[in-house]
Amino acid sequence: MKKHINIIVLIIVGLAAIAVLGYCFWQLQIEQKTFNWQKFAFVSKNKPIVYEELKPTMDTSDWLYFDGRKEYGISFKYPKDWEVKQMLSELVLRPKKCPDVYTGYGNDKTQASSILITSPAIVDKEIVSVDELLSYYRTLEHEDIFKKFGEYKFDGVIWNNNKSMRVIAEYKNLISEIFIKEDCVSFKDVAEIWNNIFTTLKFYK
């Protein structure tokens, strides 16, 4: 008799659990249809893209020419008072007047950089889009900007503190990542110089 009672109790408990789960699922479906998910911070809602056609604003005729076609698949011009530091797969551009920055570890120091350019990589856009790459860097505190010059274009994320900008430069199926930051000159100046460097930029396969 006791065994039968235990079985009945288990059945009742099981049915009750199923009923509770069913009710929760039903409520979840209702909430998903009526709930405003945009109120949650974790939902990324990109700001409208600011479109700008890129035009040279500086005389680049006396700028220096960097030919990195073989090593980096890239070439460009840059101001005479700037310098290019070559790394393994990256190029660092900075004004020559930039002081070295101490890392805080003993006497270790590193050179400040204003523009960091990675070698262009071939990207299968059916797998990864430019927007998907940028979404990795986007936050709720940013401004999107889109510019183009001829067949080249770049999509960037400018952080609101105006201290740095992450850029994805694109030409056909070649994409390069550029990080622009304020070290020893204002971000505004760096951004303008970058814009004009970009008008001289060329990618090579």
Q: How high is the pLDDT of residue 176?
A: 92
What fold is seen in the domain 50-203?
Answer: Protein Transport Mog1p; Chain A (3.40.1000)
DSSP for 5-73?
HHHHHHHHHHHHHHHHHHHHHHHHHHHHHH--GGGSTTS--PPPPEEEE----S--TT-EEEEETTTTS
As to burial, measured by CB atoms within 10 angstroms (0-12 exposed, 13-18 middle, 19+ buried), residue 77 is middle
Measured in Å, how far apart are the chain's first and last C-alpha atoms? 83
pTM of the model: 0.68
Per-residue pLDDT of 138-182, as tens digits, reads 776 778 888 999 999 988 888 776 678 889 999 988 999 998 887
> pLDDT tens digit string along 45-72?
555 667 788 889 999 999 999 999 999 9
Long-range contacts: 132-136, Cβ < 8 Å, 24+?
133/168, 133/175, 133/177, 134/166, 134/168, 135/44
Neighbours of 156 (CB within 10 A): 23
Query: What's the pLDDT band for 9 if we cut at 50, 70, 90?
Result: low
* Rounded Cα gap, residues 35 and 112, in angstroms: 47
CA–CA gap between residue 197 and residue 84 (Å, rounded): 12
Cα–chain-centroid distance for residue 78? 23
